[in-house]
Structure 1
Amino acid sequence: MSALWRINLWVCSFFVLVTVACMALLVHQALADVERELQSAEAVVEYLSETAERDPVSLQPRLTGSLRHVRVRWLEPGEAAQLPVQAGLDAWLGQLMFAEARHNAQVLDLQDGRRVQIAIDPRDEIDEIWDSLQQLLSLCGLALVSSLFAIRWAVRRGMCLLDELLWALQQVSGGQLKVRLRAEGLPEARQLAAHFNRMTATLEQTRADNTRLTQTLLAVQEQERTHLAQTLHDDLGQYLAGIRAQACLLRLAMDQPETVEHTARLLEQNCEHLQQGFRALVHDLYPVVLQHLPLSEAFSLLLEQWQSRQGIAFRFIVGQPLPPLSAPDKTHLYRLLQEALTNIARHAEASQVRVRLQHHGGRLRLFIRDNGCGAQQPQRPGVGLYSMFERARSLGGKLRIISHPGAGWALALSMPLEVS
């Protein structure tokens, strides 16, 4: 069942209940009114009966024909007295409203030889009550029809908006993010269209950013592979080729001690360079230092190496002893600090960096700040900032980046800790 039909059913049920309640109230009020009317009619019947017995001439048809709730009927000789017979709804309403005892008629034999029947006739009262009930039913029916038409008109307008929204959502689910709703009509419709259009615009921009970041990540991946291949081929490969050549030379110059000694020294140097190259390559691929040192000492070593390469002074502050962290969490924190230092070296133009790592209140906080030139925060973060935000999200924490022109950059990470 559609929403419109359900609303119509509820409205009809409400109107039926209201109509029944009004009819019950009307009948209840009519009972009190009928009681007063019949008491008056009984008094009229008694008066007419006494008057007719004393003075039959005074009981004229032209005087008694317009009486309300009282019927005076002249009987022919031998005619039996009977009450008016009612059928259908009038009979049901008469039984409901009037007591049977009050339907008894008085038959008088007048002194002039005529016979007359004087009785209470409830038909006038039944007609009045029936007219009131018909007016009530007509009024409720007219109100119900008007309400249904008004509801249909209003619901149709709302359904048109819902149909348009459903169509737009189907387009969005199919990947068509350029769809927009028309901002017109009711204020609610305009607000809905505005929120939907902002949502689709955000989704479209997010998809464009993801596409751009994916392309950038693929380019960075290719650059890393190219750098790795060049390092293995141009640097480590040359050392391996030199070691091989020197080993062959040793075989040929075994009877020349000076040549053997010189070649051995060269072999030792090449092996040392080869070992350093492998260490640097492994460190770029994975921070092995995290397996052997606590996080604070690994941070201190990273900052010292970065200072020796970039020439930027640092100040490292560590709070109370840190609880043990899992290997993935340590790696994320290490890489986040590494990426932040890389951004400072490339863009900050700073001469000093302050790093604070502390544990307080069940949370781990990392704060990094430089004294560089600063800048307005970019609306669309690049790969570096995006990777830091993703690492903070993986840690279950929140990363805030604050920057103002001339005031440097500040990076604050707060993450929960499970202390055992």
Structure 2
Amino acid sequence: MTTVLRVNAFLTMVFAMLLLACVVVMVRQARLDIEREVSASMGLVAALTEGCHMVPRQYCPSADEITKKLQHYRHFKIISEPSNLNMSEDIIPRSSGSVPLWFYDAVWGRPAGRLIEHIPVKGERLLLVADPTDELLEVWESVVQIFLLIVACALVANVAVLVGGRISLRPIRRFLCALDQIERGNYQERLPSYSISEAHRLACHFNEMAAALEKQQYENRLLNRQLLCLQEQERRELARELHDDLGQHLSAIKAVAGTISLSVESSEAVRVNARKIISISSNVLLSFRNIVHRLRPTELDRTDFYHASRQLCKTWSDSVNIPCHYSCADSPPTLNSNQSIHLYRIVQEALNNVLKHANASHVEVCIDTSRDGDNLYLSILDNGVGMDDDACAIGMGIRFMNERAAAIGAEIKFTANDGAGTKICVELATSVNAGVPDYERGGV
């Protein structure tokens, strides 16, 4: 339950208790007031009626005349007492059409024999019965008015709390949305300025925190980018040194062994050993070339990323015997060497993960571009066993690809369902200032 609904429920309970207290107090007070007024009226009528005995009989009014003259007065009822009179049902009024029976019983009840007077008049007997109908009607009308007033006040208060609460909690909802963005890693999220001083201070502190996190994230990415660049540079230099130095020596050993094996002066044992040296040297050279290729793909030095990735997919498919379909859009954007090597490494790592973990029988590598040509889309899809969310979060290969994508300002997403394959999507914005924080563009 939200805070506003809790406040509304609390207010409703308070007004309900207030209404109940008012009704209880009014009922108690009305019972006392009605009994006093009715008792006084009945006492007065009884005294006047009994005074008729003090005058001569011929001047004393009859019972019918007394009944007709007093029948329109309030608080009592005068009737002739019949022989078959039922004191609890026929005489004592319980309710009028405007007063509910439960309210009549709560205020007045059924006081049989308590407010009834028997008055003899000229040989007849009149029955003087308390009739609080008018007073009960007045009290009931007051209760209804108070009920409507309290209900109206409760409605107004709840509406005011609802509207005011939504307006007051609007900054909090905005804070929660901003915190959700921060949790997702979107440190560029900022809060607007608010007229409420407390909300304004919170917004300022939040913006400072987000700016600090964004700066720290940018510095981490910059450091990671520099480390990756140094790593690729070291790999390139190491591959060159190995190719120019160790590779030449291995080739020389193989050539000398070949010369020895062809020499007529060599014995048969020497020629056999020479052929063994040639075989070993060939295997070492093959392994050496594979190591050099892993350190620095030579295709990237001769061609661009698109041809190199196509050749990578073909070589991988031939070596592991898994079909790999490669497709590339026409006229893709030109990439610099840094973007090319990182995208190449992402494809390389994705194919290695397919071989190690996916148990797939088919792989698709697709390169596409946006209509304006500013965005490059790279996707690697397999039909393997997939992976769960924990593997997406803690896998070293996943972290490796995330770091590569962050180093070139690309966004990478992993869509993996257990048993339904895995899809890796990389989006690279080639436009100027894409992925650059606000403070790098001159603003905070």
TM-score by length of 1: 0.45
Give the TM-score, by structure 2 length.
0.42
